[in-house]
Homo-oligomer: A and B are copies of this chain.
Amino acid sequence: MVAKRLLTLLAAGMLINVTPRTLPTPSSDSPAVMRLFDAAADAFAAKGFHATTTRDIASRAGLSPAGVYVHFASKEDLLFQLSRDGHVGARDAMAAAAGDADSPTEALRQMIGRFARWHAEELTLARIVQYEFRHLTDEHRHEVLDLRREIDAVVRSVVEAGMTSGEFDVRDSHATTLALLSLVVDVARWYHPGVRRTPDEIEETYGALALRLVAAR
């Protein structure tokens, strides 16, 4: 009961509302802006932030080099918006998954499975989220760090709910949360569409692996 209430709280309230979505929604952006987001995401994911030039981004988006600066203040601004939106999407996908569950065991299975799936389905965004993070300015990095702490907190809350209910055999919730996130984050490293596994299989596999890590009964 306590666990269930906690989970409901997390899924329905805390996570959804901690960072209100005051961002411009993608649908309100102009075609050029959307092309620039796509172009920058592909380039950053493929080559990394510093190996990507503004000319790369502009030409992929069908614009001149100067065209980028009509819509974005800098190359780093493009990275920041991609990174922030990616973190918000990842967090919301996980929170939604937890909301469907009626026990810590099911919440963890669905959250980790769904989060792993997100890394496969949103591969370019996931790579930016996990690998390009450090190239943000100090101010932007701190803003995104808050989102990362939210993601960490919801996983740890479910782990601790399972410890309290007796469903999980875990001594250190921080260490176990870190391990759970390690499994998921690394999907962005090895996954490639069509190789090894489908997003469906990844979701199932990682949900099961998560329950092994917490020694769920």
Residues of A whose CB lies within 8 Å of any CB of B are: 47-51, 131, 134-135, 172, 174-175, 178-179, 181-183, 185-187, 189-190, 196-197, 205, 209, 212-213, 215
Contacts A/B (CB < 8 Å), 12 sampled: A47-B134, A48-B50, A50-B51, A172-B205, A179-B183, A179-B209, A182-B183, A182-B186, A182-B190, A209-B213, A212-B213, A213-B213
CA distance A182 to B180 in the complex (A): 10
Q: Determine chain A's interface SS by DSSP, over half rule.
A: helix
* A169, closest chain B residue (CB): B212
Partner of A212, one of B186, B205, B212: B212
Residue numbers in B under 8 Å from A209 (CB-CB): 179, 213
A30 to chain B, nearest CB (A): 30
- Contact (Cβ within 8 A) A205 B175: yes
Sorted from nearest, which 9 A-B pairs have the closest CB atoms? A182-B186, A50-B50, A50-B51, A182-B183, A179-B209, A212-B212, A212-B213, A182-B182, A175-B205
